[in-house]
Amino acid sequence: MNSTTMNMEIYLQLTQFYQDYAAAVDAADWDSWIEMFADDCTYRIQSRENHERNLPMAALSLDGKGMLKDRIYGITETIFHDPYMQNHVIAAPRILGLSPDLIEAQANYAVFRTKNDGIAQVFNVGRYIDRIRQTADGLRIESRICVFDNDMILNSLIYPI
């Protein structure tokens, strides 16, 4: 962390925010998921290989809340897929930069996938690289890049992680 002193209140607020995020995606509460983002947000799910080689391609690359809404419409209405449950385990956040408006933070995550007839599988493991705005309405994601370690996605990735 840079010169700013650690602020316990913000740390707790951020930790709660991350757990709220996990709860929203695990419950498939997509309206709440969308509302955690700023209007001009960026959301990407990108392989670590692309990320570390500075290749811009991502498995999913959404800019702005409109695209988030279109994605949710896609997963609920148009993309045929085997339904599955998600369980996110998000590690304690690591704050890398703090200003009155913005928190730069990262956190490791693991997503387990359980299909209707199946057992839980480790589906996606990686790290969130975040820029989180402090607004009057609470924290909002300005940018979240989910950089995942898996070389192969297990067939398809439907829901946000």
Partner 1 sequence: MSNDTRIPLQPVWDQPDTSRIPFKVYTDEQTHQQELEKLFYRNHWCYVGLEAEIPEPGDFKRTVIGERSVIMVRDNEGMINVVENVCAHRGMRFCRKKHGNAKELVCPYHQWNYDLKGNLQGVPFRRGVKQDGEVKGGMPKDFKPAEHGLTQLRVAQRGGVVFASFDENVEPFEEFIGPQMLHYFDRLFNGRKLKLLGYNKQRIPGNWKLMQENIKDPYHPGLLHTWFVTFGLWRADNRSELKMDEHHRHAAMISTRGQGGKNAQTTNVSSFKEEMKLNDPRFLDVEVEPWWNGPTAVMMTVFPSVILQQQVNSVSTRHIQPNGHDSFDFVWTHFGFEDDTPEMTERRLRQANLFGPAGFVSADDGEVIEFSQEGFEQKPFHRSLAELGGREIEETDHMVSETLIRGMYEYWRKQMEV
Binding site for partner 1 (CB under 8 A): 45, 47, 49-50, 53, 55-67, 69-70, 73-74, 77-82, 151-158
Q: Report, in Å, the least distance between residue 41 CB and partner 1.
A: 12
Q: Report, in Å, the least distance between residue 99 CB and partner 1.
A: 28
Q: Report, in Å, the least distance between residue 143 CB and partner 1.
A: 16
What tokens does 72 get? 């949710």
Candidates 135, 128, 46; CA nearest to 94 is 128
Task: Between 81 and 94, name the residue whose CB sits nearer to partner 1.
Answer: 81
Candidates 136, 143, 140, 144; CA nearest to 161 is 144
Q: Is-contact 20 139, C-beta < 8 A?
A: no
Distance, CA of 5 to CA of 74 (rounded, Å): 43
Q: Report, in Å, the least distance between residue 40 CB and partner 1.
A: 12
Task: Between 47 and 105, name the residue whose CB sits nearer to partner 1.
Answer: 47
Distance, CA of 14 to CA of 23 (rounded, Å): 14
Distance, CA of 13 to CA of 16 (rounded, Å): 5
Task: Between 50 and 87, name the residue whose CB sits nearer to partner 1.
Answer: 50
Task: Between 45 and 129, name the residue whose CB sits nearer to partner 1.
Answer: 45
